Amino acid sequence: MNQPDRYVQFLLPEGERKVTYKADTKLKDAGTFSFRSEDHTMGNLLRMQLHSDKATVFAGYRIPHPLEPVMVVKVQTNGTKAPEDAMSHALQDLASEFDHMRSEFERATSDVQR
């Protein structure tokens, strides 16, 4: 009854923003990103990528309620980068890593076909 429609899990409703950012009021260089229509697939990936960034002091993700497709990532940096920059670098690194993976996969599968 309270459960949102199934399509919301992968389709962003009209007027909703995919990502919202809120700077932390009590901590310095910390902030929370809220992703709509995302789940553990992206959450774990982003969290691990943020950990590999030396400027990150804290990075964690959670899904506040299993019925709602909202994913929250909390980031705290050591001051050399803003949390938004850390997140943007993490996303770019992931994009290039998967691009590379895709080209390697295509190369490997075309070799096998030959």
Could you list the residues that contact other proteins (CB under 8 A)? Answer: 6-7, 9-11, 40-42, 44-45, 47-49, 52, 97-98, 101, 105, 108
CA distance 108 to 104: 6
Q: Considering the complex, state which of residue 21 and residue 98 has its C-beta at the smaller distance from other proteins.
A: 98
CB neighbour class for 57 (10 Å; exposed up to 12, middle 13-18, buried from 19): middle
Q: Which of 102, 98, 99, 93 is nearest to 51 (CA)?
A: 93
Q: Considering the complex, state which of residue 6 and residue 65 has its C-beta at the smaller distance from other proteins.
A: 6
Q: Considering the complex, state which of residue 24 and residue 53 has its C-beta at the smaller distance from other proteins.
A: 53
- For the CB of residue 48, give the shortest distance to other proteins in the complex, in Å: 4
- φ, ψ dihedrals at 103, nearest 5°: -70, -35
- For the CB of residue 79, give the shortest distance to other proteins in the complex, in Å: 26
